Structure 1
Amino acid sequence: MSQFNIIHSNDVYQTIIHDLDTPEEKNAYLKSKLLEPFKEKFEIQHIPFDQPINGFDVISFYNSMHIAADALNSSHLPVVEQFNDSFWEKCENGMQDAIDYFENHDVHPTVETYTFSAFLGDAQKPAMSLNNNYSGDGGIPGYLFISLVPNDYTLARVKSAVAHEMNHNIRYQFVQWDGGSLAELIVSEGLAENFVETLYGSDVVGPWAKNVDEATLKQKVKPIIKEHLDINNLFEAMPYLYGDDMTVQSGGRPVGLPHAAGYTCGYYLVKYFLEHTQTPIHEATQLSASDILSQVEDFWND
């Protein structure tokens, strides 16, 4: 039976707000109590944990979409308190629902313990605001977190956000991560969101999956994505996944795509694959991107 190591971030945030004074104390406490349990994950992702490299480390990574520890104050208590017992129960249910789905279809994840938390997003930062104020990270087996600005919209999507990340987490227990090819990125995101739809219905599918209208998808997104499917590294592939808004915000070169274009393309590509091959989502999750792409040639002209 799977175990969940849930880090209650609200306790960390409340201690920072009530008991700590200096930026150094606040950052050190957040790093120790909230980020340290994910240290192995960050190191696998080449996010420096102990010493910054060229000014970048786990704290600057965290601050790119969350409320910085040294910015937390008593005005944030109402949103911190949204991370209550009911919230954490929803998170655990989302993880368990995902595991149960696979195990009920005779797919048995190999990870025994999942370390999880939810981080307080900053609505003023594009990585949050462009994604309707919620996101997540679940690509390293055994570790996942969601990021959100708590409100009625995001709190209603907690389980679906967790399930999305769990699909990634389970996928990479069976499929070798290829370093971030564009093909793998769009397929994996498409699988995760179609998994959410299978579990919870289309109403809670992430906004990134349906961000692009049908005409733009067909006339602009598909041709550009298809032309660049041979990109085999994360740095070059990310602009095609995230689109120009996020790319420009992070100092990159725009590629002529709307926000979340790769997510939308992946969502519809995987949906096309599932429908045309009659492959169930639990089996598709275990397939390589090349296996899936080889069977959807007509998608690009559909």
Structure 2
Amino acid sequence: MKLHLIESDSVYRELLTLPVDQRDALFKEKLLLPFKEKFAIQRISFDERIPFNVMTLMGYMHKMPKDLSEEDLQMINQFDKEFWETIKQAFNRSVESFTSKGISLKQQDYYVTALLGNEASPMMRINENYSGDGGIPGYIFLSLVPNEYTINRIASAMAHECNHNIRYQFVDWEMGSLKEMIVAEGLAENFAEKMFGQENIGPWVTKNDLETLNTIIKPKLKDSLSINNMQEAMPYLYGDEITKMQGGNPVGLPYASGYTCGYHLIKYYLKKTGMSIEEATLKTADEILSQVEEFWN
């Protein structure tokens, strides 16, 4: 198994030396091209003549090459040796947590990088300035506006994304069914909590209290578990604020409802079954949900 850690700080510094009209090409070559297979699986093109392409996607939450200035060096410099070592160690610890239980991973090469988040992005702000993308085996993006708060949580974010990355080596994504996404996010955050502590649980769990979970989130999600495609499921997973940002129709749910529900559902499942989070990660959504029908009551 090999970790290909792409240290983006050197690329951002190089971008600052280039004329604005030459920056996108270098950004794509150095930071996005290693992930081309991931984007191909997601049907996201590198061809900027196509209206929704890889740079359009990056623009939702990230500091884009054309917008970089010398003032951003303060953020870039926080992607230092210690930062990259933290990511490396979090990745290795997460993988070891599975392999030490006799789980043999199918994926041998892993490409990982961290990108500068755009502090002006509503999507970045609502997630308290950090996020991740690890749903395609072998590829993990971390995105953050670097500061003390986000850097302290980058190891937990890496563990969360590693859990997704490992799960989807064994379990079918089911075209983004709501039940799968709720279960997957719950598994990932419970794994991150095991690895790096309850104090580093993400805002996608902590922003909703138990009363909101039990009176608003659970009843609506219970009635929607049959949704079997990502487009319909996303408003229930992300909640109304993010849905509106993405131009969708709100469904009457608070921020990150599916994440919050998934976290508590998986915690209930683990306590009931006595199963380890690593073993549970390899279970299908149906296998897990069949054991916790009373959770919804």
SS at match of 1:179: helix
The gaps in structure 2 that reach 5 residues or longer are none
Summarize deviations over 1:80-100 as a string: whole Å, max 9, x none: 010011100000111101111
Query: CA 1:183/1:52 → structure 2, altered by over 3 Å: closer, same or farther?
Result: farther
Contact 1:211–1:261 (CA under 8 A) maintained in structure 2:
no
Which one of the candidate residues 5, 26, 29 is aligned to 1:29?
26
One-letter amino acid matched to 1:21: P
Residue 51 of structure 1, CA deviation: 4.5
Distance 2:52 2:196 in 1: 37
Residue 210 of structure 1, CA deviation: 2.1
Summarize deviations over 1:65-110 as a string: whole Å, max 9, x none: 0011100010100000100111000001111011110011111211
Distance 2:48 2:62 in 1: 20
The gaps in structure 1 that reach 5 residues or longer are none
Asked if 1:225 corresponds to 2:224, the answer is: no
Contact 1:109–1:173 (CA under 8 A) maintained in structure 2:
yes
Contact 2:48–2:55 (CA under 8 A) maintained in structure 1:
no
Q: What is the correspondence of 1:42-121 to structure 2 with a 5 Å cutoff? A: 42-53=39-50, 55-121=51-117
Q: Give the structure 1 partner of residue 266 of structure 2.
A: 270
Q: Give the structure 1 partner of residue 250 of structure 2.
A: 254
Large movers: runs of 4+ above 6 Å? none
Q: Give the structure 2 partner of residue 211 of structure 1.
A: 207
Q: Percent identity?
A: 49
Asked if 1:279 corresponds to 2:278, the answer is: no
One-letter amino acid matched to 1:45: Q
Q: Give the structure 1 partner of residue 11 of structure 2.
A: 12
Count how many residue pairs are aligned between Structure 1 and Structure 2: 297
Residue 279 of structure 1, CA deviation: 1.2
Residue 201 of structure 1, CA deviation: 1.4
Q: What is the correspondence of 1:143-154 to structure 2 with a 5 Å cutoff? A: 143-154=139-150
Q: What is the correspondence of 1:135-174 to structure 2 with a 5 Å cutoff? A: 135-174=131-170
TM-score by length of 1: 0.97
Asked if 1:39 corresponds to 2:36, the answer is: yes
TM-score by length of 2: 0.98
